[in-house]
Amino acid sequence: MNQNAAFGLALRHIRMQRKLTQEDFSSVSSRTYLSTLERGLKSPTLEKIDQLAETLKVHPLTLLTQAYLIKDKDVDVEGLLVRIASEVADLAAKPDEE
């Protein structure tokens, strides 16, 4: 499954869990655009992910994490979060190399 399709499924899943309609996103997106995202036909910008997550009342990383878990069925949430925490800690510990 490609990343756009996985993101679309994650977006739709969380939207349905929150009992929101596509029209509930009218302040950040048209229903047509949201439908296009949910069908995996487009890729949102970071700013749009932030706006969508705000409407869903989740952290943007929750939306992205759900998408990556859908995309890679062999990964579990705990393993993914441990990997992310380790990578962020490693990056924070190293000075910028310019």
- Measured at the CA of 77, the angle between CA 75 and CA 80, to 5 degrees, comes to 65
Rounded Cα–Cα distance for residues 7 and 70 (Å)? 8
Between 1 and 47, the higher pLDDT residue: 47
**pLDDT reported for residue 82:** 94
Rounded to two decimals, the pTM is 0.88
CATH number at residue 9: 1.10.260.40
Domain with 33, as residue range(s), is: 3-72
pLDDT tens-digit profile of 31-74?
A: 999 999 999 999 999 999 999 999 999 999 999 999 999 999 88
Does 88 fall in a domain?
no
Tally of structural domains, the chain: 1
Task: Determine the pLDDT at residue 97.
Answer: 63
pLDDT of residue 95: 72
Q: Is residue 78 part of a domain?
A: no
pLDDT band at 98 (very low <50, low <70, confident <90, very high): low
12 lies in some domain: yes
Please check whether residue 81 lies inside any domain of the structure: no
Is residue 93 a part of any domain in this protein?
no
How far apart are the C-alpha atoms of 82 and 98, rounded to whole Å?
Answer: 28
